Amino acid sequence: MPIVTPLTKLLNIRVPVIQGGMQWVGVPQLVAAVSNAGGLGLITALTQPSPDALRQAIRDTRSKTSKPFGVNITLLPSINPPDYAGYARAAVEEGVRIFETAGHSPGKLIQYFKSNDCIVIHKCTTIRHAKSAAKLGVDVLSIDGFECAGHPGEEDIGGLVLLARAAKELNIPYVSSGGIADARGIAASLALGAAGVNMGTRFMCTVESPIHQNIKELIVKSSEQDTTHIFRTMHNTARVYKNKVAKEVVAIERRPGGAKFEDVQKLVSGQRGRLVYENGDPDHGIFTAGLSMGLIDDIPTCEELLRNLETGVEEIIGQMSAIVVPKAKL
């Protein structure tokens, strides 16, 4: 039987799984593969060098799938911010109607999307921020737990508590994000009131993922103990793979007197991280990875992955229903 949730109905997808909007990873070949397999693929807008390049990425994706897909726009703290409005306008003009937003002060972006009849999924790391986003009119909230790759916020609250809080306090659909890589994680999320899940690291490790095979194989070999946090002392915490560069950044942050961003800027360069994915040297730069690495032991196609997740969730829910026995049979 199909899994039907408010998310599958709203997005017109078969499996309640959203592919995370990962920098350098959310490109047409992966996005289309996820959508064709029944989930929702997301193009990462800022992976593209310009709004016009995003237009072309949207067209490339549309040439590979007739299924729904969306665009992620993450608002980053920056002295010279990207042309967020230009990216948003390009995507809307190209006919995209599903967006994931994340980051600071998303109000103008959300207002623009809603004025163009778009569906907006907003990623949050606290219930406080989720409520604020709901007031701005978003359609779905993505609740990002401490287990996630990338930025988990500064409050260090795991998904188990965050999702239970969300069930009590939110009045719009939400999905779980962080630490999800298998059918048990999806079933647990649904039990906690979520309408679906967001998976990032798991999709990095698929056939259609654009990252180097060496990095995919590294993820398979790694465990939940192979991540670390950088930027803790700068109050911009990020979970990344625990490689030589990440350890060096942490060591600099722990120096007496602390560290400024300028002290680690060259080490954490986005271009160095991009080369990790292109050249396959895991120690060349910083790259994000979540605790869900401990649950990943293969490199399937997106079709295989989502099919197995779908059947796995159905089996688990069926097993759980057998636990409840009518009193007359006790």
CATH of the domain at 80: 3.20.20.70
Domain co-membership, 176 together with 252: no
Q: Are 297 and 305 in contact (CB under 8 A)?
A: no
Give the CA diameter of the chain. 69
Compute the mean pLDDT over every residue in the chain, rounded to the nearest whole number: 96
Sign for the CA dihedral angle at 186, 171, 92, 83 comes to negative
Domain co-membership, 113 together with 160: yes
Domain co-membership, 164 together with 147: yes
Domain co-membership, 271 together with 229: yes
Domain co-membership, 253 together with 126: no
pLDDT score, position 329: 65
Domain co-membership, 50 together with 160: yes
Please report where in the chains the tokens 């999806």 appear, as a residue.
186
Name the token pair of 310: 């779908």
pLDDT score, position 311: 97
pLDDT band at 330 (very low <50, low <70, confident <90, very high): low
- The verdict on residue 124 lying in a domain is yes
Residue 1, pLDDT above cutoff 80: no
Domain co-membership, 154 together with 237: no
Report the alpha-carbon distance of residue 54 to residue 227 in Å, rounded: 31
pLDDT tens digits for 56-101?
999 999 999 999 999 999 998 777 899 999 999 999 999 999 999 9
Question: For the chain, what percent of residues have pLDDT higher than 70?
Answer: 99
pTM score, two decimals? 0.96
| Domain of residue 264, residue span | 213-279
What is the number of domains present in the chain?
2
pLDDT tens digits for 289-312?
999 999 999 999 999 999 999 999
105 φψ region: left (φ > 0), alpha (ψ -120 to 50), beta (else): left
